[in-house]
């Protein structure tokens, strides 16, 4: 494509209790709640966006919290692990912080050239804190609950679990412009993004005997890749459709525009635009403090406020 993908835009997962989700990701991990809105397809459910101070693309983790939904099953055809970037000297800080909040974690492991701290969130979603030599090139939230010098600096990457490597890797490399950068056993690492601070590592973990994953609470719903603007997005849509890939029309998500398609293994992909961003309807100081609705849902505001559970940002 004429317009290369810039990295990860956001990752969306499914949670259970919204307050528990907020307490963990904001209170423990120190991500900022940058937008409190609703699932546009299911408006009686929140859509919570976390990120850095202003929600730059590449830092945005979002959740649909369905309180009574069943627990999902991680497996083939899913993004199974989310990796966050932390500064190289921050591993000890995070182990102490997780202990202080009684968050269980596994012993750190070496993978390629990084140290990796594996853990799970309260709903069972798997993620990692990865020491990243270029983490300092990304800004930290100066007024957050985590010391800025140790704060999470957005995504390092993610793991895709697949029964078959070939078809998924062909799409990522030949169509989407990913570059192979390493291999270890059944794990093949690809890289996307040209700017050093925004590059993302995507590991394809090939497990031919793995059961199919089931998307529900504690699993990733979709992965969104960054593109610079509407023109670049339309170029991607045209190119994907021209290769016979079933890609949606452009959808307005208020803070970005989106197209969706599935990779051959089954993971739902999105390509999202960087603009207009999260300050389009709130100033930086007020991000995430009030319920924001798109114009077509404003007539239902009173009803939605009554049915959505009350949530409180941790101090």
Identify the pLDDT of residue 197: 80
CB atoms within 10 A of CB 88: 14
Residue 305 to residue 291: CA distance in whole angstroms: 8
Q: How many CB atoms lie within 10 A of CB 109?
A: 11
Q: Find all residues with CB under 8 Å of 122, minimum gap 6, and list them.
A: 16, 17, 20, 21, 24
What's the CA gap between 38 and 52, in Å, rounded? 20
pLDDT at 86: 97
The pLDDT of residue 198 is 86
Q: Please determine, for residue 315, whether its predicted confidence score (pLDDT) is greater than 90.
A: no
Q: Please report which confidence band the pLDDT of residue 39 belongs to, taking 50, 70 and 90 as the band edges.
A: very high
Distance (Å, whole) CA 143 – CA 35: 17
- Average pLDDT for residues 179-204, to the nearest whole number? 94
pLDDT digits over 203-259, tens only? Answer: 999 999 999 999 999 999 999 999 999 999 999 999 999 999 999 999 999 999 999
Q: Supply the pLDDT for residue 120.
A: 96
Distance CA 236, CA 3 (A): 8
pLDDT at 212: 96
Nearest residue to 96 via CA among 146, 142, 153: 146
Q: Give the whole-angstrom CA distance, residue 262 versus residue 89.
A: 37
pLDDT of residue 61: 98
Q: What is the pLDDT of residue 1?
A: 66
The helix (H) or strand (E) run that includes residue 20 is helix 18-22
The pTM of the full predicted model, rounded to 2 decimals, is 0.97
Which domains, ranges and CATH numbers included, belong to the chain?
8-307 (3.10.180.10)
Give the mean pLDDT of 274-288. Answer: 97
The CA distance from 134 to 266, in Å, is 31
**pLDDT of 2 over the 80 cut:** no
Q: Using the 8-state DSSP alphabet, how is residue 248 labeled?
A: P
* Distance of alpha carbon 162 from alpha carbon 79, whole angstroms: 9
The CA-atom distances, in angstroms, between 25 and each of 29, 69, 110, 248 are: 5, 20, 25, 31
**For the chain, what is the mean pLDDT?**
96
Contact 293, 38 (CB under 8 A): yes
Pairing of strands 220-227, 8-15: antiparallel
Q: Tens of pLDDT along 149-160?
A: 999 999 999 999
Dihedral Cα 129, 131, 136, 140, nearest 10 deg: 20
Summarize pLDDT for 20-35 with one digit per residue, the tens. 999 999 999 999 999 9
The burial of 156, by beta-carbon neighbours within 10 Å (0-12 exposed, 13-18 middle, 19 or more buried), is given as: buried
Residue 163 has pLDDT above 80, yes or no: yes
**Greatest CA span in the chain, whole angstroms?**
55
Say if residue 171's pLDDT is above 80. Answer: yes
- Percentage of the chain lying above the pLDDT 90 cut: 94
> Residue 185 — very low, low, confident or very high, per pLDDT cuts 50/70/90?
very high
Which DSSP string do the residues of 196-237 spell out, in sequence order? Answer: GGG-EEEEEEE-TTPPBPB-SBTSEEEEEEEESSHHHHHHHH
Q: In this predicted model, what pLDDT tens digit does every residue of 69-108 receive, in sequence order?
A: 999 999 999 999 999 999 999 999 999 999 999 999 999 9
Q: pLDDT at residue 37 above 80?
A: yes
First to last CA, the chain: 45
């Amino acid at each position: 494509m004429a317009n290369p993908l810039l990295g990860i835009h956001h990752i969306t997962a499914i949670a259970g209790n919204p307050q528990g989700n907020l307490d963990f990701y904001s209170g423990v991990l120190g991500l900022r709640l940058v937008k409190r809105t609703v699932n546009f397809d299911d408006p009686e459910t929140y859509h919570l966006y976390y990120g850095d101070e202003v929600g730059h693309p590449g830092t945005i983790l979002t959740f649909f919290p369905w309180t009574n939904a069943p627990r999902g099953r991680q497996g083939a055809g899913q993004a199974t692990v989310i990796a966050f970037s932390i500064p190289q000297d921050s591993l000890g800080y995070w182990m102490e912080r997780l202990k202080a909040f009684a968050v269980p974690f596994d012993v750190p492991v070496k993978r390629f050239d990084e140290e990796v701290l594996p853990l799970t969130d309260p709903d069972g979603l798997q993620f990692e804190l990865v020491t990243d030599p270029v983490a300092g090139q990304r800004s930290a939230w100066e007024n957050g609950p985590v010391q800025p010098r140790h704060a999470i600096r957005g995504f390092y990457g993610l793991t895709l679990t697949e029964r078959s490597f070939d078809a998924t890797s062909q799409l990522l490399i030949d169509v989407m412009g990913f570059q192979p950068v390493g291999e270890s056993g059944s794990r093949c690492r690809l890289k996307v993004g040209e700017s050093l601070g925004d590059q993302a590592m995507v590991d394809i973990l090939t497990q031919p005997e793995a059961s199919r994953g089931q998307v529900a609470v504690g699993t990733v719903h979709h992965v969104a890749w960054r593109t610079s603007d509407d023109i670049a997005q339309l170029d991607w849509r045209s190119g994907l459709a021209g290769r016979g890939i079933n890609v949606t029309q452009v959808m307005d998500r208020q803070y970005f525009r989106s197209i969706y398609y599935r990779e051959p293994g089954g993971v739902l992909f999105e390509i999202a635009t960087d603009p207009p961003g999260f300050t389009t309807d709130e100033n930086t100081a007020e991000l995430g403090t009030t319920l924001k609705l798109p114009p077509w849902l404003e007539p239902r505001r009173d009803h939605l406020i009554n049915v959505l559970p009350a949530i409180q940002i941790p101090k």
